[in-house]
Structure 1
Amino acid sequence: MLQKLIVIIDGCVCQFTAKVLSCKEASLKTVVNGKKELLNGFEVILDDTILFPEGGGQPCDRGFLGSVPVVQVSRHGTDAVHFVTEPLVEGETVRQMLDWDRRLDHMQQHSGQHLVTAIADLEFGYPTTSWWLGEEVSYIELDTPTIKQEEITNIERIVNDKIRASSPVDVQVFGEVGLIPETVRTRGLPDGHKGPVRVVTIQGVESNMCCGTHVSNLCQLQVIKLLHAEKGKKNKTNLHFLVGGRVLKHLAGCLEREQKFTALLKLVPTVDK
């Protein structure tokens, strides 16, 4: 049997051992190379997990149980269910290994969303009604029919000021809903919710009920870039954004395209003054 193992990176547990409580045959509807497919495999429940099941607008973590890749993690009631393509032995202890790059990306986008949401509401009275963490670009749905470019610029300036100020991000767990301070922002709990409630607080900015993964300090976001706004559903506005590593990736793509066009047109790139 494996000894209990915990590996921590930047305050996050990335490797952990747990016991397999159950492993049952199952199937999963998924998309492979752009086509919908039915994947046969197994649903595994552990006595504890470090892999986040999808929820609250955030996709699930990926990683490994031993040498077996985890395709998806979902929440069934109070259980985190790991979908894998190979069976595991019930009662055995397995090592969980988290895909840290994916987790860090999701932490940056989710904490960035909390920050943009708070500033858009505090500065301009535009509350967030929903959000989506996409594979490349994310967006926040604001409860306003329009937003001016000047307002977008001001939000971007303020959120990046907060990042440079290195404001801490704290997580508290409340055993009962009635104990949560009235200042905590919430859109309500999911139907059938049972158990503790997590509150994520960006010090000096806001507190928000949230089940997702977050950075421990705003400086870990690096930078936020607000890309553009577009008309959303029901007279609302979608504000698209990038955080942290995604900003660098986007900039690298822009520079690569510029270099290709420059070479094609045989021009010399210039820098705006």
Structure 2
Amino acid sequence: MAFQCQRDCYMRELTTRVVSCSPAELQLENNGKKEKIKGFNVTVKDTILFPEGGGQPDDHGTMGGVQVLRVTRQGPDAVHFVSSGLEEGQEVLLKVDWERRFDHMQQHSGRPLPGKDRGIKELGRQRSSIELDTARVKSGEAEALETAANEKIRSRVPVNVRLLSLDDPEVEKVRSRGLPVDHAGPIRIIDIEGVDANMCCGTHVSNLSHLQAIKVLGMEKGKKNKTNLVFIAGNRVLKYAERSYNTEKSLISLFKVRPEEHVQAVDKLQIEEQLNTNLVLLRDMAVLIARNFKSKPDQGNFFTLHYKDGDNEFMNIIANEIGFEDTVIFLTVGEETGEGMFLLAGPSSVVDSLGPRVMELLHGKGAGKNGRFPGKSELPGQEGGGGGPAAGAQSPDEGSGGVEPAVR
């Protein structure tokens, strides 16, 4: 049979009578957890609450003022799950959640407009999608589909409902994904003039102008060389525009730049965050390098290291952690040829004597004070790779003992 919700999708209230009421359980999902609740399965003489099927979710609404938690189809009947029992023969008023219903009508009727679909992927959530019989969509095709769909909406194309018997020859002429095994009654055909005709049990608008607009959001890879076209229709377009505008306002307030510069602003923020993370790791590495050297029983009184990605703070942390009152420390950072920095630290007498010589060998600039001689170096590339700040230096997990290798 065809329910009242299928005969008149715009009807919001219906007074009917209870046919049966029996105890039942329903499994619901609450905050990601599944729970069973006790209640009653109620069938009525007719209903305006659509039972889920054909890819469309069920309607929400009330029955005699009690919330209907689920509507399913069992053969020719629509079964309503409610928390309170009702008497057989009792007259009840059904009310449908119109906002949810009309949204489903808009998405459902909008489904064929962007292209011939093979099935609903999503309906009744934030977006809808259909499966296109193609592996890829060429550049510009999505925009063309959207433009054509909105032209049909502006043309006020009628949407007609036909009920055919199973043996009617017209049934063979319409698109179908097959009938459920427990189908009963006439076959319902949704005919959008000049666009599409297919078997469908769901709720639809009576005219494409009621869709208001369609927005194609994009394409996603589907199964078996198919493509999923993602779209929204009707009030969802308005809500999407409102959410986007509010997000845009928030981003303008945060970044202090124009909307077209938001992506660059986020990219810059990510780079800065990564740099900050790298700096923390670099500081931790410096501490570990120093402690590793000090933990060696034969550490000696000389430590040298080159680390390309280091900086002044990296070198100072190592020098402070090791201590340079009795140990000579020579550190370099930067590329092995070209600009770099160095630090010579140790007893003042050694640093005062060797500092100027180190600066000369590295073609650098610097000055010494209180056992430290920091400076900048500028070394040209040389054949064989010799002569750079790293010459004779160790990797970050190595050090050397003995003062002789420092400068010759």
With the length of structure 1 as denominator, give the TM-score of the two structures.
Answer: 0.88
Contact 2:71–2:81 (8 Å) recurs in 1 = yes
One-letter amino acid of the counterpart of residue 26, structure 2: L
Q: How many residues align?
A: 255
Percentage identity across paired residues of the two chains? 49
CA 1:100–1:22 in 2, change beyond 3 Å: closer, same or farther? same
Residue 58, structure 1, aligned to residue 56, structure 2? yes
Residues 182-229 of structure 1: per-residue CA shift (max 9 Å, x gap): 432222222232210011111122211111000000000000011111
User: What's the CA shift for 1:148?
Assistant: 2.0
Gaps of 5+ in 1: 1-5, 122-126
- The equivalent position to 2:217 in structure 1, one of 227, 235, 240, is 227
**2:228 maps to what in 1?**
238
The residue aligned with 1:202 is 192
In structure 2, relative to structure 1, the CA distance for the partners of 1:105 and 1:129 (3 Å cut) is closer
Higher helix share: 2
1:89 aligned residue = 87
Aligned-partner Cα distance in 2 for 1:266–1:245: 31
Task: Provide the secondary structure at the position in 1 that maps to 2:12.
Answer: strand
Residues 106 and 210 of structure 2 are in contact (CA less than 8 Å); yes or no, is this contact kept in structure 1?
yes
Q: Is the contact made by 1:184 and 1:209 (CA closer than 8 Å) also made in structure 2?
A: yes
Q: Is the 8 A contact 1:177 1:197 kept in 2?
A: no
Distance 1:149 1:217 in 2: 31
Contact 1:129 1:143 (C-alpha < 8 Å) held by counterparts: no
Aligned partner of 1:20 in structure 2 is: 18
Pair 1:77 & 2:67 matched: no
Task: Tell me how far 1:178 sits from its aligned partner.
Answer: 2.8
Q: Which residues of structure 2 form unaligned runs of 5+?
A: 262-408
Matched to 1:237, the amino acid is: T
Shift of 1:268: 5.2
The letter for the 2-side match of 1:227 is L
Tell me by how many angstroms 1:93 deviates. 0.5
Greater gyration radius = 2
Is the CA contact 2:103–2:124 (under 8 Å) kept in the aligned structure 1? no
CA–CA distance in structure 1, aligned partners of residues 43 and 182 of structure 2: 20
Letter in structure 1 aligned against 2:254: L
- Give structure 1 regions of 4+ aligned residues with deviation exceeding 6 angstroms: none
Alpha-carbon deviation of 1:176?
A: 2.7
The one of 245, 251, 256 equivalent to 1:261 is 251
Tell me the distance in 2 between the aligned counterparts of 1:61 and 1:211: 13
Q: Could you say which structure has the greater relative contact order, defined with CA pairs below 8 angstroms and 6 or more residues apart? A: 1
What TM-score, normalized by structure 2, do the two folds share? 0.60
Equivalent in the alignment of 2:144: 154
Q: 1:221 and 1:43 mapped to 2: Cα distance?
A: 34
Tell me how far 1:181 sits from its aligned partner: 5.0
2:202 aligns with one of 189, 208, 212: 212
What is the CA deviation profile of residues 57-103 of structure 1, one whole-angstrom value per residue up to 9, with x for unaligned ones? 00001111011001110001111000111111221100001111111
CA RMSD of aligned residues (A): 2.0
In 2, the alpha carbon distance for the partners of 1:11 and 1:69 equals 20
> Structure 1 or 2: larger strand share?
1
Question: Is the deviation greater in 151-160 or in 191-200?
Answer: 191-200
